[in-house]
Amino acid sequence: MALSTMPVKTLIVGQLQTNCYLFYSEPSRKAVIIDPGDDADLIISQIQDLDLNPEAILATHGHFDHVLAVTELKLAFNLPFYLHQADKKILARTQSTAKYFTGLEVDPAPKVYHSLVPQAKIKVGESSLQIIHTPGHTQGSVCFYCPAEKLIFTGDLIFAHGDRGRTDLDGGNESQIQQSIRQILSLPAKTLMYSGHGPATTVKDEKQFH
């Protein structure tokens, strides 16, 4: 089996143990940062150690534990920040929700961002990520799918071993999340799924539970 030219580096960040991903091109070192939930210094250090050239910050949704490092990373690398517009209000409440769930005082949410458009593609080196709108955990939840590499970043939509995102928070919807999960599980069985928390899994493995 040929080695991937688009590696994924997983960093576990913040009190809620969020998976932040560096998805990058081996030849060009161009990269995107996905769900930088906290610990900006760690993320910056890893980017430097891997000699990467980050080009964008992508958030699967607007919850605080997926965006707390955005402002520092934007400043460090002068990067655009992408989020689905339906999560704009959730993003604006970053400080209050972080305080409620963790007791931490955090920086204000980043206000300048670019809207993620469903079915659009974000180029990463020689490859690209397709944006799939998957509401249910929040109204603006998205997944980032790379067919060429047979992988997808699912945020808090679905986790390993049959678990899935909460729907009892603002913007959550039970019927929507079930529909979104069915959509993602219709991808090829060998598709590797990188979730917002916990270990990676595959479409084949998760079909056993849903």
Structure confidence by residue, pLDDT tens digits, 117-133: 888 999 999 899 999 99
- Per domain, the residue ranges of the chain are 8-206
Query: CA-to-CA distance for 131 and 17, rounded, in angstroms?
Result: 24
H or E element that contains 97: helix 94-102
Query: CA-to-CA distance for 203 and 191, rounded, in angstroms?
Result: 6
Name the E strands within the chain.
8-13, 18-24, 30-34, 53-58, 81-83, 114-115, 121-124, 127-133, 142-146, 151-155, 192-195, 201-202
> For residue range 132-176, what is the model confidence (pLDDT) as tens digits?
999 999 999 999 999 999 999 999 999 999 999 999 888 899 999
**pTM, two decimal places:** 0.94
For the residues of 6-28, what is the DSSP string, one character each? S-EEEEEETTTTEEEEEEE-TTT
Considering only 23-37, 90-104, 143-157, which range has the smallest mean pLDDT?
90-104
Phi and psi angles of residue 175, each rounded to the nearest 5 degrees, phi first: -65, -35
> For residue range 38-57, what is the model confidence (pLDDT) as tens digits?
999 999 999 999 999 999 99
Domain range 8-206, its CATH number among 3.30.70.920, 3.30.70.20, 2.30.29.30, 3.60.15.10:
3.60.15.10
Listed residue (98, 92, 70, 90) closest to 82, CA to CA:
70
